[in-house]
Structure 1
């Protein structure tokens, strides 16, 4: 009889402890991609005697956005740019929206709703949400100073915990070299040197696993893409050189032609000649036209006078 009672008591204590632990440490997890947004809905118990209350969103000890409710209206106290507040008094809904999330924004956010009037102050609800921004993975073709081709696997992540592998046809490869830096979030670059170009096309994969992921990330890149980009670069360089040479030859030819024309003109007219128009001579015997000021204004020709001599 005692054993069943002890067993039942232990089970009841375990259930109470388990449910209490869940109630205290319960956290909702949101998985979002880089650049997207996440909505944190604040769960709380509204009361009929609440005249004024506050809603605060914070992470660790940093307050991100706070609003206070008074006269049936939500008013801002302070709020950072990446955060937007949505409060609907009719439905008692309170939501904080995190905009344009970056990898370094990964963390736990807490929404606290508190009644401040009527006193005393009472916590109406505390909601914790863990926001996980998935790492950003990018593959690209790069060139070494000696002209050899490499594939670059660049990963941005937070917090500092990352596994990265190169895979070719199921085989794990060693990267040529890698480096890691920190600027608000961690960034790691891993390079893989490609062999000389062959007729076969090979698929290379960059495999990444991180503590914020529910499964690893894999990005693939074909070797032909890097070799094609190399060929395009060579063609563009050759075309640019040819155009430069053609333009140079054209400009030189133009200068030579102008110089030749100027030399030829100077050889034909070595001395400049100034032509002065001859003056127009009037005949003294030319008839003149006289105008009368009387009657009709008709010109009256006036001939030269003839003088007769009387012997």
Structure 2
């Protein structure tokens, strides 16, 4: 059984690397030279009005890639579409992608895919949040299927590390990729309803999650009172929620992770090692290391099961099939 699992993982990894090689940096250099600049200016205009759009765009790309690959299927509207699956109901940033697509269609119609816009917008969102920038291989095409029923494999804030590992491994991503990509939570937010059980009724006996730092527990209980508004938003990084840095990993190390799935990364020896490497003690040097590793993990994730060549389509409007 273990041998079969290993063989399957190797096949998925080889497929991902092969596709990644077929995507190309500067894919639109001759067909739509201003493509990346148009996406960047669009993201920047929304970011300047509301910086919290950055984690929204990053999450939108992540959720797209984990269902049917990075093919823009998350953008399709419709009652049975992927975006209506329970794990996707809080997604935001659709208007940014639609705006960029509208401008691109006016400049070079039928050329730039919605899937590529998602990948470029995620990169720009990180860069605008004082994080790293990187060259995004492009050439993805848009999928022709979007079903909410296929979104069941998305990671959940309730997942133990073993389940997170299975879900990431199924996409050709290892423990290092898992921890590195979860580091995107350094600029994320969540709602009280997704973690308040940790504060008041962790094991249905009225206790709190013992892995939460006691001082931080009091802070969270103040932000999310027992009978309070479950929709209230709380930063996933209590120290520098608007800056893309290693603070998130220090919080996980110190018992200050907000989501159970994040804090559990410290309880597994393999993922703990990666968290510790990023958290460390010297902010500057280790911050640069995360800046180096995160782009690598993003390029790898952005290549999951992409459609290229004659596959799929180039949508005219991102929210509907041609």
Structure holding more strand per residue: 1
Query: Normalising to structure 2: TM-score of the pair?
Result: 0.22
Rg bigger for which structure? Answer: 1
Where relative contact order (Cα < 8 A, 6+ residues apart) is larger, the structure is 2
Query: Normalising to structure 1: TM-score of the pair?
Result: 0.22
Structure holding more helix per residue: 2
